[in-house]
Chain A
Amino acid sequence: MSLYTAETRRLGKRRFTKFLLGGVILVLIAIAVGMFFTNEKNTPATIAAAQAKADSEFQAAVRQSATDKQTCVAAQGTPDASNWPTNCDDVYQPQTSDFQAAWYMPATFDFREQFPNMITALAAIVAVAAFVIGASFVGAEWASGGMMNLLLWRPRRLQVLSTKIGALLSLLTGFTIVLMAAWTGVFALIANLRGSLDTMTSGAWQSIVLMELRGLALVLVAGAVGFGLASIGRHTAVAMGVAVGVVVLLQFGLYIVLAMANVRFAEVVLATSWATAWMDKTVTITDWNSCNFSGNNGCEPNTLDLTWHAAGGGLIALLVVVVGIAMWTMRSRDIT
């Protein structure tokens, strides 16, 4: 327990941790402020204005259609006729359904529809920060020789590494939970002032909470993997290098090669696809080059669903492999 207290203190004392968590909070505040000012509540006045706008657009379209039809009729038999349908009744006739008032309304924050994206944004930002904090926490210890010093006091190596990762993950959990609660509160307020919360049911709230928990899991895995990689390489830079390497090679390189080779569902190699699948429960990848023709629907492209089960399995596998190797190297390596 004393070791755990010491490690928690150490993590909290690090300026890097403070800077990064402070930076995350600033970015999130900027996002919330942006959302506040770009959205507006629907009042009877804005609805009426939007309706009027839709109506007048519709009228303009109707007038345009009438002149088009006249031009078409007049053009019959002249060379210009090729620019018009053979049957002038086929000229586009606007429908009222093509001019819905909703499309002319200023952006409004519909909590049920838009907040899930905000959770994903939060989880992504905090996960990146968690990776870096985890990596630098143990990486700086290795590189500075602090780890060796600590092992002279606490020779049980696995206990030391587990305690460190435990301190890291509990700090991340606490931080993320507080942040998510605040995030939910802030956006509920924004929805209240600049949109609506009306469509929220208890089931919808429940799925919001579940999504937030999945976001928390994403953050924790990112932190643990950053920690594990830096511990394996005994340097923060190793974790960073691996992250950059994966992004460059797998995300850009491999994806571009696969896409150029017209390999189907190349998006499967993108970490973002899997992260989205994890957060949104499913991601559908479409192969636009394929066509399953049917009488009713015309071309139906092939699709591939990535489910959150598969994504979760991937996250667990990543966690187990990286942390497992970190523990194994910790146990067996010569510390010089």
Chain B
Amino acid sequence: MSAVLEIAGLQKTYRSRKGVRKALDGFDMVVEAGQVHGFLGPNGSGKTTTLRTLLGLIRPNGGRMSILGREVPQALPEVAGSVGAIVESPQFFGNFSAQDTLSLLADAGGVPRTRVFEVLELVGLRDRSKDRVKTYSLGMKQRLAVASALLKNPKLLILDEPANGLDPGGIREMRGLMAGLAESGMTVLLSSHILGEIQLICDSVTIIAAGRRVAAGSVAEVLATHASTSLRVRLEAVSDLTSSAAALRDAGAQVVVEPDHLMVSGLAQPSAVTRTLAERGVYVSELSPVTADLESVFLELTGTAPVQGENRQVDQTVMSGTAPAQSGGWGR
């Protein structure tokens, strides 16, 4: 497999009157051909910034990027025809109809106008294509945006939070559309913070937090490497919970004490739990493995799991140092 998209060491610092903000801090990403690749990160982690930089809308402060094997932004004029993109719920000139909007883009990009009707059909806007865009709902605008990205029949499709504003039916259709596109050989890069979505349709993911990559690979790999599968341990007597937790910690496990059970991770074998506790005369009433889903891995890796009694601020993540968010619900 060849890489359709490669990013290495990407840096971007926004400068404004309010000061400087490091949005990307040596970010790396690789997307292989034919994949549906999920690009995950909490709000403000730099997803949109990455995509804007990639598409030549903003200038990076450092790092290298290539699309379809060509260095960008230098080769962008040549590769632009093969890259369809929407960046952060794009807006369109409200007084034009969807059809006008798309046909103007088609003219500008040298795409035959018949393609306009195909994509309108594809995103389900056929019957409303003569209405002015300003009369559209958010979800309809989102569909139009996807249509504009598909207009070029691109080799690489980049969608920044395409599920924004879509109804459940729309989200499912979008999923079907993407699966179909990937099947036809298109590479799709999908940024999102809706993890269920990503887990359902993506072959591989990159997780970003505070401008850096914190995990990458196929969904299964990421789950396997980063989800320290843990055990739910219930005891005969709830009063033994605290002392048992201490004993398990002595044995090298990470333990979270819940009101009526323990969450134990970091032990090679579940039998280590029963042995340790049995040695102290404590007996286990339930021992069940809990497999992590992408959401838990995401929360752990990005350090954005909610903590009771705290209002997490957007920039508090695992990378920010000052964050109290290190302590997720896990592995305390």
Contact = CB atoms under 8 A, between A and B. Distances in A.
B80 A144 contact: no
A2 B59 CA distance: 27
Given A15-B95, A155-B77, A150 B108 contact: yes
B104 A6 contact: yes
A63 interface: no
B95 A14 contact: yes
A5 B111 CA distance: 13
Given A149-B148, A334-B59, A13 B92 contact: no
Interface in A305-336: 332, 334-336
Interface string B278-303: 00000000000000000000000000
B93 A152 contact: no
B185 interface: no
A74 to B, nearest CB: 82
Interface in B210-252: none
B56 interface: yes
B52 interface: yes
Given A6-B108, A335-B58, A336-B57, A153 B80 contact: yes
Report whether over half of chain A's contact residues are helix, strand or loop; otherwise say mixed. helix
A145 B92 contact: yes
Given A150-B105, A156-B77, A334-B57, A2 B110 contact: yes
Interface in B92-122: 92-96, 100-101, 104-105, 107-110
Given A144-B94, A156-B77, 6 more contacts: A146-B91, A152-B80, A153-B105, A153-B108, A155-B73, A335-B57
Contact of B57 (A10, A141, A144, A151): A151
Contact of A146 (B57, B92, B107): B92
A243 interface: no
Nearest to B109: A153
Interface of A: 2-3, 5-7, 9-10, 13-15, 140-141, 144-146, 148-156, 332, 334-336
Contacts of B90: 145, 148-149
Interface in B72-87: 73, 76-77, 80, 83, 85, 87
A153 B96 CA distance: 18
Given A2-B110, A144-B93, A152 B104 contact: no
B56 A155 contact: yes
Q: Which size class do B's interface residues fall under?
A: 20 to 34
Contacts of B58: 334-336
Contacts of A7: 108
A3 B55 CA distance: 19
Contact of B107 (A5, A140, A141, A334): A5
Contacts of A149: 90, 92, 105, 148
A117 B12 CA distance: 57
A151 B87 CA distance: 12
A146 B91 CA distance: 7
17 contacts: A2-B110, A10-B104, A13-B104, A141-B93, A144-B92, A144-B94, A146-B91, A146-B92, A148-B57, A149-B148, A150-B105, A153-B105, A153-B152, A334-B57, A335-B57, A336-B52, A336-B57
A154 B108 contact: yes
A140 B91 CA distance: 11
Contacts of A336: 52, 57-58
B17 to A, nearest CB: 14
Nearest to B100: A13
Interface string B143-166: 000001000100000000000000
B93 to A, nearest CB: 4
B323 to A, nearest CB: 26
Contacts of B107: 2-3, 5-6, 9
Nearest to B91: A145
List 3 tightest A-B contacts by C-beta distance, closest first: A6-B107, A145-B91, A334-B58
Nearest to B110: A2
Contact of A154 (B59, B73, B92, B109): B109
A154 to B, nearest CB: 6
Contacts of B94: 144
Contacts of A155: 55-56, 73, 76-77, 80
